[in-house]
Amino acid sequence: MTAAFTPPSPDHTRRGGRAGKRAGASATFEQPPFRQLKIPFEPTRIVSDDELESIHLASLRVLKEIGVEVLHEEARAIMKRHGADVRDGSERVRFDSDMIMELMASCPSEFTLHARNPAHNVRFGGNNLIFAQMGSAPNCSDMDGGRRPGNQADFRNFLKLAQMHNILNTTGGYPVEPVDIHPSVRHLECIRDFVTFTDKAFHIYSLGKERNTDGIEIARIARGISREQLQDEPSVYTIINTNSPLKLDVPMMEGIIQMSGKGQIVIVTPFTLAGAMAPVTVAGALVQQNAEALAGLAFSQMVKKGAPVGYGGFTSNVDMKSGAPAFGTPEYMKAQLVGGQLARRYNIPYRTSNVCAANTVDAQAAYESVFSLWGAIQGGGNFMLHSAGWLEGGLRCSYEKMILDIDLLQMVAEFLTPLDLSEDALAIEAIRSVGPGGHFFGTQHTQDRYKTAFYAPIISDWRNYETWMEAGSPTAMERANRIWKERLASYEKPPLDPAIEEELNAFVEKRRLEGGAPTDF
């Protein structure tokens, strides 16, 4: 603080004198504690209830008249038993609208995802908000090492960053695919790492029955609970991306059977890119998204009534010149808001994302991401996958983007923290004591609060131009590069009960010796 500060005028701003001399953002930033975030305001309704109903009814017509292709024989048998229109010799399944809605009514509106550290449990549904790290990038990058295929060392580094940043409530699949581990045992190594490098809840991939059952068993071992308790306490989640348009393949159906059958969380997320795997209109893409989501979600309730599920929205548009997917676009934001309205219509948790198509951590990466956050938060998202690290349309997890996103998420969390409107905060006495023409720097009201009054960003550089130039005019990306290295250096493994670690290692060894999982997925 400086007494030399000269009050500027908003439309004639001046920052001079000794203002803006603070050092650049520090890596040893103080974090808010791990907490269950909530969205304190009503989500934005971008379409009317009647308009929403027209999307809902159109998707029911798609399910009834067109149907979906279900490639999994047992799944078709389950559907038939529940009254779906399944015909011999055909993979096409059609659904009666009342049946779909009856099944949807059995989806729980809220539930808890349990972590091995109970302090890291998170709540799905209602106005709860969960941030999960990015998942599934084939590549990673940083400014020093450049872009490279994923490997175990980078995979573990990203888990460390997920563990040490309280704003990341869970991990979100493999932040980067560690291709240096053989695919047959990769899931065993990766999930063991989830449990040992972090104590937060995690995701497992639905890529064949073994990967699901191994993941569920490791989640059980990590929590040291019985199979019965696990059944009642969701402790792991999976994402089911339908094969748009209108196809549900074998690993997807197998994943729902294993996960829903054991009371674990299934989030059905159609990848309805308008103009590619879905109609070129946002409304049409949403109709298809909704039809596919309803098919998957209804199936989960056939497997087990009351199984915890989430409605995933991922509808975006493509660059019509190339077919490349675009993210954080106006069309994407509209789809996010309508997706939220649909999920609330069915009264189930809504999954969103923080995504961009940029190739580097520049202005584009930031504006596409913040537009994504805008749509997700105003859309009432409950679970945000790919919250941190996502670059290049998901082809890359970036160390610098990870830090940038952590800062963005912390800002969003601060924005969502209810305003203090106590008498003290309204500050009439402070205003009286300062009076016209004074300033508030030196007042007791300010002195008592200034250290914690405002969110202190990780990356934002608020130094004045001259000081910033003298410091080498660092961009936000360069500051993020310095910070992730300092952060990683201070990582500490979370404690793990030695008995649990032993059981975990024994299970992984046994499954390795058995050959792991088939690699023909």
Whether the CB-CB separation of 388 and 402 falls below 8 Å is answered with yes
Q: How far apart are CA 405 and CA 399, in angstroms?
A: 10
Reduced to 3 DSSP states, what percent helix, strand and coil does the chain have, rounded to the nearest 5? 45, 15, 45
Which of 68, 195, 257, 259 is the binder for a copy of itself (CB under 8 A)? 68
Does the footprint of a copy of itself cover residue 45 (CB under 8 A)? yes
Q: Which residues pair with 395 in a beta bridge?
A: none
Q: Is 311 helix (H, G, I), strand (E, B) or coil?
A: strand
- Smaller CB distance to a copy of itself: residue 68 or 161? 68
Kindly write out the interface string for residues 178-217 of this chain, putting x where it contacts a copy of itself by CB under 8 A and - elsewhere. Answer: ----------------------------------------
Q: Which of residues 216-255 bind a copy of itself (CB under 8 A)?
A: 239, 241, 243-247
Does the footprint of a copy of itself cover residue 58 (CB under 8 A)? yes
The least CB distance from residue 142 to a copy of itself, in Å, is 15
Which of 170, 212, 235, 378 is the binder for a copy of itself (CB under 8 A)? 378
- Smaller CB distance to a copy of itself: residue 5 or 491? 5
Sign for the pseudo-dihedral over CA of 134, 136, 137, 143: positive
Q: Which of residues 153-182 bind a copy of itself (CB under 8 A)?
A: 173
Phi and psi at residue 335, to the nearest 5°? -65, -35
Q: How far apart are CA 76 and CA 428, in angstroms?
A: 68
Q: Which of residues 480-519 bind a copy of itself (CB under 8 A)?
A: none
- Smaller CB distance to a copy of itself: residue 180 or 362? 362
Kindly write out the interface string for residues 395-414 of this chain, putting x where it contacts a copy of itself by CB under 8 A and - elsewhere. Answer: xx-------x---x--xx-x
The least CB distance from residue 227 to a copy of itself, in Å, is 28
Give the closest residue to 188 by CA, choosing from 218, 162, 158, 160.
218
The half-sphere exposure of 32 on its side-chain side, counting CA atoms within 13 A, is: 22
Angstrom CA distances, 15 to 18, 250, 365, 465, stand at: 9, 62, 28, 9
Q: Which of residues 291-350 bind a copy of itself (CB under 8 A)?
A: 291, 314, 317-326, 329-331, 333-334, 338
Kindly write out the interface string for residues 443-462 of this chain, putting x where it contacts a copy of itself by CB under 8 A and - elsewhere. Answer: --xx--xxx-xxx-x-xxxx
Which of 24, 37, 62, 131 is the binder for a copy of itself (CB under 8 A)? 62
Q: Which residues pair with 38 in a beta bridge?
A: 128
Phi and psi at residue 17, to the nearest 5°? 55, -135
- Smaller CB distance to a copy of itself: residue 326 or 504? 326
